[in-house]
Amino acid sequence: MNTPKNKKILTPAQKKRKRIELVLCAVIVVSMLIVRLVLIDRGTIRTQDSALTNEELLSVLERHEVTIDEDGTTGYATILSATPGKRGKADTAVIATGRTVLENFADGTTTVKFPNASPVTGSVLASNEEAGIGIIRCEVEDQDSVYYSSNLYYQMETGTQLYFLDSTESLVPCTVQETDASVDGYTSQMTILQADNLSADDLGTVLCGRGVYSASGYYLGTIETIETDGTAVMASGADVVELVTKNQ
């Protein structure tokens, strides 16, 4: 029998084992694709380029934005992470807010009102005044961690459309005017946004702590102040995530 040179002849047992290996590889690949599709469908993971409808985006923001009430003074914050409690303990949520909100804290604690839970007491975990941000820890059940994308954050440029909630929980579109901007009172670089048609009730530091999101629902930063012409200063989401990482 003639056989090509350098060609390895497999025994029947080896051929069978080879077929089994190929089938197993195919099963693993298909299983991974199915799991990913299920997770995407459930919202556990999402693709960065999947722009949401206004209704879907509003739902995302409403789920992750909370209100801070310090002796009648209202501020806002974003749920960054929610960690399940161990051995019967309550879940722990870490939320991000702005510098002006933290300045109203008398003793390092405050009342936090979540969308689907009773008000709880939160305590300041860490802050970075130069970046205009702070994080607060609370014990609260059934909250979802926000999505953050460093890729989307660093891809922001002039004209990029972002979104946040006003004081009536309505969706506000805004556009990036400048990234890596130097702003008096902050040593970290800030992002300048332009938001039109805002109510006079939402100017100044009223919306301080509100999270700012991409069109696909990723958290990218936190509102600090809004001027009378709708110019807003946004603290860096990258700085917020770094602060959380260092203090968890």
| Mean local confidence (pLDDT), 53-79 | 91
C-alpha span between 196 and 174 (Å, rounded): 7
Indicate if 150-237 has the same CATH topology as 54-139.
Answer: yes
When comparing pLDDT for 38 and 107, which is higher? 107
Q: Which of 78, 70, 131 is CA-nearest to residue 102?
A: 70
pLDDT at 197: 84
> Over 90: is that where the pLDDT of 202 sits?
yes
Query: What is 54-139's CATH superfamily?
Result: Trypsin-like serine proteases (2.40.10.10)
46 Cβ contact list (under 8 Å, min separation 6): 40, 147, 216, 217
**Cα→Cα distances 21→16, 28, 33, 109, 211, Å:** 9, 11, 19, 58, 49
> Over 50: is that where the pLDDT of 182 sits?
yes
User: Considering the chain, what is the average pLDDT of its residues?
Assistant: 85
pLDDT at 14: 65
pLDDT at 67: 95
C-alpha span between 164 and 219 (Å, rounded): 10
Q: Which fold has domain 150-237?
A: Thrombin, subunit H (2.40.10)
The pTM of this model reads 0.78
Confidence at 33, pLDDT banded by 50, 70, 90: very low
Listed by start position, the domains of the chain span: 54-139, 150-237
| Mean local confidence (pLDDT), 186-206 | 93
User: What does the DSSP assignment read for 119-154?
Assistant: -EEEEEEEEETTTTEEEEEEE-SS--PPPB-HHHHH
